[in-house]
Amino acid sequence: MSLLRRILGLETRAGFSDLERIIASASGTAAGLSVTPEGALRCPIVLACVSALSGAVGQMPLILYRRGPGGEKTRATDHPLYRLLHDAPNAWTGSTEFRVSMMTAALLHGDAFAFIGRARGQVLEIVQAPAGAVQVDADDWTGEPVYTVTRRDGTQQTVPREDIFRLRVPGPDPVRGLSLTVQARESIALALQLEAYAARVFARGARPSGVLEVPGKLSEPAVNRLRASLSQNHANAANAGTMVLEEGAKFSQQQFSSVDLQFIELFRHQIAQIARAYRVPLHMIQELERTTHSTAEHVQQQFLSTVLLPWLKLWEQSIARDLFTEQERDELFVEFMVDDLVKADLAARMQAFATAVTNGILNPNECRAMDNREPYDGGDVFMRPLNTGEAGGAADDD
């Protein structure tokens, strides 16, 4: 049967292809617009949310560590993956550019894919796949993902799972990622319609600036003469002069009603609605109406701990799953350095470390590990204040 019949439910089968899912996601919304993942970027709110999340992930250094026998960690700069993850995954793409592009694809489509180039079991390069080039299905028996790549010439090829790096947004479907943009397409469509309405209001002729009232019916020559006079002398602000009216005509200026101005409040509501879908704080997409300096700093910390950290863990576990061998997972791990996002709270963090070291709660090397710094000799010693002693210890002799 035809593709259209399958989409309309006239034929059932195991799953949808990428083409079918694209067509389904592009279906019309209640606002009268079709919103595709790429088309959603025309909405400034979506663009700001996607840029905030992808930019935050892209700006943080990604470090490959080696776990020591005592739990300490050191940078694995001698491993080939260190350069690929920290500097450039391939010869023509930087690490920041790669992560921003992958995050953008994941936010828009629910999945982002990259091809892994290996030689003798060693990863040599990682190249992002174009959107829609990789189709995901699941093995009927094991549930393991099966990847089919569509080339530019239209031919298809099944690619082993070991050769694909995948960043998937978790959702109810265990096979395919959850597209936040598709889920929020109704709110996005309404925001686009509101923006288009505002453009029409201020466009020439969308709403008359005033109304001419005459006591009686004008003849056709009088109407044409009046229209030509207004068009010649008042259509362009540079040529505007004193308005002269004939036949007892009066000009009444049109004012915006309270109903006309409600779309501003509705547009603000749509900003919050779309930001909720991506879980982005409003001040990060330049909605500062109810934001103060103190609340912005607190929300920034909350953004890191409740919004960004889940994405970072998703990256770290995807890298371990797809780029490490089974033996390397016992020794290697990756972490993002979040220092750039908590610089404003550096003094409080250093004070907390100093208090923990001074009171023997943590040793200096443990604090350095929490701050993604390498240990130093002698830093494993715990300190104890001089005016304290062991609980229950004997009193000093007189």
Only one residue has tokens 């509101």, namely 194
Question: What is the rounded (10 degree) CA torsion for 134, 135, 139, 140?
Answer: 180
DSSP secondary structure string for all residues of 220-286: HHHHHHHHHHHHHHHSSGGG-------TT-EEEE----TTTTHHHHHHHHHHHHHHHHHT--GGGGT
Which of 252-261, 326-335, 380-389 is the least confident region?
Answer: 252-261
Q: Rounded distance, CA 44 to CA 191, Å?
A: 9
pLDDT at position 205 is 52
Q: In what order do the strands lie in the sheet with 134-138?
A: 134-138, 145-150, 156-159
**Weakest mean pLDDT among 46-60, 102-116, 233-247, 381-395:** 233-247
At residue 5, the pLDDT reads: 35
Q: Which amino acid is at 241?
A: G
Query: Taking 50 as the threshold, does the pLDDT of residue 392 lie above it?
Result: no
Length of the chain: 398
pLDDT at 97: 97
Q: Which long-range contacts (CB under 8 A, 24 or more apart) does 98-104 make?
A: 98/126, 98/128, 99/54, 99/57, 99/58, 99/62, 99/315, 100/54, 100/55, 100/57, 100/58, 101/54, 101/128, 102/128, 102/167, 103/50, 103/53, 103/54, 103/57, 103/58, 103/167, 103/311, 104/50, 104/54
- The Cα–Cα gap between 306 and 308 comes to 6
Question: pLDDT for 302-311, tens place per residue?
Answer: 788 888 999 9
Report pLDDT for 15: 38
CA dihedral over 360, 366, 371, 373, signed as positive or negative: positive
> Of all residues in the chain, what percent carry a pLDDT higher than 70?
70
Helices (H), the chain: 3-7, 18-25, 44-59, 80-86, 95-109, 180-183, 185-202, 220-234, 262-278, 293-302, 309-323, 346-358, 364-370
CA 37, CA 41: separation in Å to the nearest integer?
Answer: 7
Mean pLDDT of the region 25-32: 60
Q: Is 319 helix (H, G, I), strand (E, B) or coil?
A: helix
- Total-model pTM: 0.72
Task: Identify the pLDDT of residue 260.
Answer: 56
Top-ranked range on mean pLDDT: pick from 105-109, 137-141, 265-269: 105-109
Burial class (CB in 10 A: 0-12, 13-18, 19+), 55: middle
| Number of CB atoms found within 10 A of residue 205's CB | 6
The model's pLDDT over 177-208, given as tens digits with 9 standing for 90+, comes to 999 999 999 999 988 888 887 777 777 555 55
| Cα–Cα dist 194/154, whole Å | 39
Best-predicted range by mean pLDDT among 22-26, 29-33, 277-281? 277-281
Geometric angle at alpha carbon 194, from 188 and 197, rounded to 5°: 145
| Model pLDDT, residue 389 | 58
In this predicted structure, the answer to whether residue 165 has a pLDDT above a threshold of 50 is yes
Question: Averaged over 216-233, what is the pLDDT?
Answer: 70
pLDDT given at position 30: 72
Residue 321 has pLDDT above 70, yes or no: yes
Distance, in Å, from the CA atom of 258 to the CA atom of 103, rounded to the nearest integer, reads 41
Q: What is the pLDDT of residue 282?
A: 86
**Average predicted confidence (pLDDT) for the chain:** 79
Binned at pLDDT 50, 70 and 90, residue 212 comes out as: low
